[in-house]
Amino acid sequence: MRTVSFQDVLRGAAESTGRIYDTLSNDEFALFRGFISRRLREAWESEYWPELMLVETRTWDTSGDIEYISFTQSGKTEIGQCYRILDKDPRSDFNFTEHPFYLHALGIVVNDGPDTPYIEYRKRAPELTGSDWSGSATYAVGDQVYYNGDFWNALTVRDDSTAAPTASDTTNWEIQSIPYIFKPYLEKAAASDMLLLDEKPDLAMAQQTMAREALDIEAIKLYRQQGQTSRIKVRTY
C-alpha cells in the first residue's frame, strides 16, 4: 500500500488553516491528531478500497449456539467489515460460490457455509492516539507512540533500555500506515474541523467542500480510470 507520513498530512492541514506547522502548540497537535484520526476512519470506510482489502481463510468458531467467524482470530488481521464469504480463493479461482452472511454480536454467521471459508474483508480502520515517544517510558504491547513524524504501535513490551522505533525494527514496532490516497482529503477535512473551532464557519465549509471533492476524485480514479467494479452491496430483507 502506498503510504504518507502523519507529519505530511499534519503540515498540509495546519497550512490550510493559516497556521505555521513549525509553531504548532501541543494543544493544537492534539486537536489535529483527533481530527485526522476521525476523518481517517471516515475515508477508510467510505468505499471498499482495494488497498485496504484482504482475502484470507478463516476457521469456524462453534463456541456458541451458532457457527460463526470471529472478527478476531489468532495470527490473523482483525476484520473491519466483511465484504463477502466464498468457498474458493477469488484471486486464483474464478469458479467460486458466494455465500450469504449476516452479522452477529459474536461475528459473521453463514448458514451452510463451506468447510474452508475464504473471507474478503476490509481491514479495521486505525486510530491515532499516541503521544511523543520517551526513552524513559515503559510501553505495553499495543501502546502507541509518536516518533519521527509517524505513529508506531508496540509489538513487545518496551522499557527505558530499548531504542526508539525504526522501520527496520519490525520485531518490536509497527508503523501505523496512512494510505497515500487519503492525503488531500485528510488535510482539508481536518482543516475544516479546526476552522470550526476557530469560529470561522465560512472557511470551514470551503475546506469541507474541497475535502469531499478530493475523496470523490479518488473514487472516480478507482472506478472509471482503473476499471474497478463498484463494490456497493444492496441487501433486501
Whole-model pTM?
Answer: 0.89
Structural domains for the chain = 1-45+179-231+233-237 (no CATH), 52-123 (no CATH), 129-175 (2.10.10)
The region that residue 107 occupies, defined by phi over 0 for left and psi between -120 and 50 for alpha, beta otherwise, is left
Is pLDDT at 96 greater than 60 in this prediction?
A: yes
Question: Three-class SS of residue 151?
Answer: strand
Residue 77 pLDDT grade (very low, low, confident, very high; cuts 50, 70, 90) = very high
Cβ neighbours of residue 122 closer than 8 Å, sequence gap 6 or more: 44, 45, 48, 49, 52, 53, 79, 80, 81, 83
Burial class (CB in 10 A: 0-12, 13-18, 19+), 191: buried
- Alpha helices of 98-231 — where are they, by DSSP H? 183-197, 201-220
Name which of 42-46, 166-170, 196-200, 213-217 the model is least confident about. Answer: 166-170
Cβ(6)–Cβ(34) below 8 Å: no
Report the pLDDT value the prediction gives residue 19, as an integer from 0 to 100: 97
Question: Three-class SS of residue 129?
Answer: coil
Is pLDDT at 195 greater than 80 in this prediction?
A: yes
